[in-house]
Amino acid sequence: MPVVILSSVATRDIDAQALSVFVTLSKPIKIGALYDALLRIFGAAGAPPAEPKPAAMRHTLAESYPLRILLAEDNLVNRKLALRLLQRLGYEADVAEDGQQAVGMVRVTAYDVVLMDVQMPVLDGLEATRRIRSELPPDDQPYIIAMTANAMAGDREVCLDAGMNGYVSKPIQLAELDDAIEAAAVARRGVPSAAF
């Protein structure tokens, strides 16, 4: 298991190798340094990494399914992680920092997919989804994927009842996001893509 040392004093005397220390961070901890450390840890956890795909194969999902995506997420760290994962799939996304911004952006731009955080300030993701569903004509409706840290049994149903089409749990995993985006793309087949 990776070990992270958080210290307010010099760590020169610590035998990092003997303790299996993966990362050493000095206090006060900077958000960016912690974020980078967590990405390194989670990237190194579990099974050995698979062989990297050839460059020509890396963005096949986005190449196969060009989509215009809106990310509605108020938390900076979660937003950066989601954007990085989308980039790994070959996508870029516009960003809304709360549900009210998301509704406003969907009114003026035809998005194929909206990744909607459920708990946001000003207007939460559930109410934002209800407004999008009630205000837009059927042909202009985006595919809305809920993003939530809540993993209780009824949470998925609450999201679907609000009008969301899919669901991913936080922290978002690349494979789960890949599956959700592909499901959105397949569901939108036959609907002209806004990405063109």
User: Pairing relation of β-strands 166-169 and 69-72?
Assistant: unpaired
Mean pLDDT, residues 92-118: 97
Q: Which two three-digit tokens encode residue 191?
A: 């609907």
- Cα–Cα distance measured from residue 159 to residue 62, given in angstroms and rounded to the nearest whole number: 26
Chain segment 27-75, per-residue pLDDT in tens: 777 777 777 777 777 664 444 444 444 444 344 678 888 999 999 999 9
pLDDT for residue 82 is more than 50? yes
Report the predicted TM-score, pTM, of the whole model to 2 decimal places: 0.68
- Shortest CA distance to 128 belongs to which of 137, 118, 136? 118
- Cα–Cα distance measured from residue 25 to residue 63, given in angstroms and rounded to the nearest whole number: 39
Q: Is 23 left (phi over 0), alpha (psi -120 to 50) or beta?
A: beta
Chain segment 132-159, per-residue pLDDT in tens: 999 999 999 999 999 998 767 788 889 9
Q: How would you label 92-128 residue by residue, b for 16+ Cβ within 10 Å and e otherwise?
A: ebebbbbbbbbbebbeeeebbbbbbbbebeebbbbeb
Is the Cβ–Cβ distance between 71 and 86 less than 8 Å?
yes
Higher pLDDT, residue 62 or 101 = 101
Could you tell me the domains of the chain? 3-44 (no CATH), 57-187 (3.40.50.2300)
DSSP string, 58-80: TTHHHHHS---EEEE---HHHHH
List, in order, residues 6 or more apart from 169 with CB less than 8 Å away: 147, 148, 149, 150, 151, 176
